[in-house]
Amino acid sequence: MKLYIAQATCSLAVQAVFNELGLTPELVHFDVFGKTTSDQSDFAAVNDLLYVPALQLDGETEPLTETITIASYLADQHPESGLIPKHGTIERARMDQLLTFVATEIAQKHIPLMRKLMTPEGIAFHSNKLLNAYGKLDARLADGRAYLTGEQFTVADAYVWATMWHERSGVNLDHLTHLKAYIERIETRASVRKALQDEAEIVAAHKEAIAA
Ligand SMILES: N[C@@H](CCC(=O)N[C@@H](CS)C(=O)NCC(=O)O)C(=O)O
């Protein structure tokens, strides 16, 4: 399996899920600004919309894209991991609800803010949406649970952790103390530490290759 990632992006969620499962895909780094890849392949041939994550599965011609789809697919293949509830249950519907919320109300709200593409009105609108969305997560964690759905780390936690881009977006979340403690808890997990380490290594190697 080949996983296409980019630095400090939502692909970290998929890396964390892979690591939780003890699986090691081949990583390929895509530089979203320079448009090059660490293996010199043409990323447009993988995903012509030019975004990560994208997962090339063995035996499949077309790569799997979309963070939710890839993370859920991997977790579904390993139900014993507890990373995602079983299809067709109310718990799974709630998980899908949460994942969609993270994708649409958090990740995609951050992107134009981080890229400084917005008018002052747009900044205020998106910042307020993000404050409300993170406020919902903080409120959920207020009962002392370790993770968003209870004591079990899930794909939703991997996704929220991977998209904590508030500093780059200029959104202050200091008042959300439950959320802060939760992210710190996630950061102690071996799976997310390895994701960051693997990412740092491949990004450094890619930069070196470009500079050479
Ligand atoms: N709908 C996609 C969006 C993925 C996405 O926005 N990826 C960002 C990184 S988090 C990216 O690769 N952006 C590069 C670009 O759009 O130029 C998903 O949910 O996975």
Nearest CA among 28, 49, 73, 9 for reference residue 206: 28
Ligand 1 pocket, 6 CB below 6 A?
yes
Q: Which residues touch 153 (CB under 8 Å, ≥6 apart)?
A: 20, 82, 83, 146, 147, 186, 189
**What CATH number does residue 124 fall under?**
1.20.1050.10
Structural element, H or E, at residue 166: helix 166-169
**Can you name the residues that pair with 32 across neighbouring β-strands?**
none
pLDDT tens, 10-69?
A: 999 999 999 999 999 999 999 999 999 999 999 999 999 999 999 999 999 999 999 999
pLDDT tens, 94-104?
A: 999 999 999 99
Task: Say yes or no: 53 and 134 in one domain.
Answer: no
Task: Say yes or no: 144 and 111 in one domain.
Answer: yes
Ligand 1 pocket, 72 CB below 6 A?
no
Q: Which two tokens stand for residue 117?
A: 């593409």
pLDDT of residue 28: 98
Task: Say yes or no: 74 and 106 in one domain.
Answer: no
Structural element, H or E, at residue 124: helix 120-141
Q: How far is the CA of 144 from the centre of ligand 1 (A)?
A: 32
Task: Say yes or no: 99 and 181 in one domain.
Answer: yes
Distance CA 43, CA 29 (A): 10
pTM over 0.85: yes
pLDDT of residue 143: 98
Q: Mean pLDDT throughout 89-117?
A: 97
Structural element, H or E, at residue 181: helix 177-186
Distance CA 70, CA 44 (A): 19
Distance CA 162, CA 171 (A): 16
Q: What percentage of residues in the chain have a pLDDT greater than 70?
A: 100
**Can you name the residues that pair with 2 across neighbouring β-strands?**
26, 56
Ligand 1 pocket, 50 CB below 6 A?
yes
Task: Say yes or no: 64 and 99 in one domain.
Answer: no
Ligand 1 pocket, 146 CB below 6 A?
no
Domain count within the chain: 2
Task: Say yes or no: 64 and 120 in one domain.
Answer: no
Tell me which residue range forms the domain holding 35: 2-81+191-211
Q: Using CA positions, which residue lies closest to atom 16 of ligand 1? A: 51
Phi, psi angles (nearest 5°) of residue 27:
-95, 140
Where are the extended beta strands (E) located within the chain? 2-5, 26-29, 54-56, 64-65
Q: How far is the CA of 163 from the centre of ligand 1 (A)?
A: 11
Q: Are 3 and 25 in contact (CB under 8 A)?
A: yes
Q: Using CA positions, which residue lies closest to atom 14 of ligand 1? A: 51
Nearest-5° Cα angle at 123, 122 to 129: 90
Ligand 1 pocket, 51 CB below 6 A?
yes
Q: How far is the CA of 51 from the centre of ligand 1 (A)?
A: 4
Task: Say yes or no: 106 and 76 in one domain.
Answer: no
Nearest-atom index, ligand 1, CA of 53: 20
Q: How far is the CA of 140 from the centre of ligand 1 (A)?
A: 27
Task: Say yes or no: 69 and 133 in one domain.
Answer: no
Task: Say yes or no: 124 and 166 in one domain.
Answer: yes
Amino acid at 108: Q
Q: Return the residue matching tokens 């508030």.
A: 166
Task: Say yes or no: 119 and 159 in one domain.
Answer: yes
Q: Are 69 and 54 in contact (CB under 8 A)?
A: no
Q: Which two tokens stand for residue 143?
A: 């009962």
Phi, psi angles (nearest 5°) of residue 111:
-55, -50
Q: How far is the CA of 67 from the centre of ligand 1 (A)?
A: 8
Mutate to test the pocket of ligand 1, among 4, 28, 30, 52 (most ligand atoms within 8 A of CB): 52
